Structure 1
Amino acid sequence: MAVSSYRAPGHPVTASVLLTDSASRVLIVHPAHRTAERHLPGGIVEDGESPVDAARREVREELGLIVDLRHGDLFAVEWVQARRPGRRSRFAFVFAGPVLAATDTARISLQRTELDAWRWATREEVKTLLHPAVAARIVAPLQLPGTVTYLETRGPES
């Protein structure tokens, strides 16, 4: 059977998880294949997979942790405009994960083909360590439980 190069119209989808500790610090990771940019644990939603299932899978694969995420843990959804030629605009789902205890973080086992480091970051540090669009998703004004923020990130020409 021939493999088609057809690319469906629409937007790719990513899912990430906002994991915190008892001091309200955010767990951020550093990709093994990049030099500076850090991000939240997460990645691409695969074909046939829901965003919440992708978020659970990515945390399990990247950190070796099993997190109990539910649909109601949706924190933010953002439409992110493509900024480079050949890229497509995408939807980014962010789920609020559980508060991790020291026993949880002691079990972190990085997927070395994807990540080379993780660390805790304060909300102030997040503003400088993460891409500005990602930081804006998670340091926005506090939300009430059960509410979701919808954002749009557009390029400078928009």
Structure 2
Amino acid sequence: MPPLAAGHPVTASVLITNPDDALFIVHPAKAGAPWHLPGGIVEQSESPLDAVRREGREELGLDLDITEHDLFAVEWLQAIRPGRRDRLAILFAGPVLHPHDTDRITLQRDELNAWRWATRDEAQTLLHPAIAARIMSPLQTPGSAVYRETRNEGTL
């Protein structure tokens, strides 16, 4: 099998809310890591949509009803450290979860140690700044996705 072509790693995550429009955020088990949205790396031969569904099952124990029409944003992120690669981050608008849904959450403990609901103001302070910027820009409805680029001029 020939080696894989160099390219951009891809991540897929999901923006889940509750009926009060609070955001569902998760905390990694890794010490010192900031809160983030459920999701992760898109694996070889996996679509971003399949990846975000898989991550929902693995990380949360939930089958998330997400389709390609739920695409929310695509962002190119320039690498911020030497030796790292630029990447694409794909964000889907997820379902609205109700208490009976959250009662079924089973965290993948080697990946996550907590979850919580956060207001948009709380999320801005808890989430990594790049994730906060991605979801706090003018919010659109699913099906009207946004493309962004995050450049870090002069930081390499």
What range describes the TM-score normalised by the shorter chain of this pair? over 0.9
1:146 pairs with one of 135, 143, 149: 143
Q: Which region of structure 1 is more displaced relative to structure 2, 74-83 or 6-15?
A: 6-15
- Report the CA distance shift for 1:125/1:47 in structure 2 as closer, same or farther (over 3 A): same
Structure 1 match to 2:22: 25
Structure 1 match to 2:64: 67
Post-superposition CA distance 1:56-84 (Å, at most 9, x none): 00011000000111001000000011111
Post-superposition CA distance 1:14-62 (Å, at most 9, x none): 0000010001011101100132411000000000000000000001100
Inter-partner Cα distance in structure 1 for 2:24 and 2:52: 14
**1:145 Cα shift?**
3.9
Post-superposition CA distance 1:120-151 (Å, at most 9, x none): 00001111101111001111112144100111
Matched, 1:9 2:14: no
Structure 2 match to 1:134: 131
Alignment of 1:63-142 (within 5 A): 63-142=60-139
Structure 1 vs Structure 2 CA RMSD: 1.6
Inter-partner Cα distance in structure 2 for 1:144 and 1:66: 22
Structure 1: tracts of 5 or more residues without a match: none
Structure 1 match to 2:52: 55
Letter in 2 for 1:28: I
Moved over 4 A (4+): none
Inter-partner Cα distance in structure 2 for 1:148 and 1:18: 13
Inter-partner Cα distance in structure 2 for 1:7 and 1:38: 32
Percent identity reads 63
- Report the CA distance shift for 1:7/1:155 in structure 2 as closer, same or farther (over 3 A): farther
**1:7 Cα shift?**
5.5
Matched, 1:43 2:40: yes
Inter-partner Cα distance in structure 1 for 2:4 and 2:82: 16
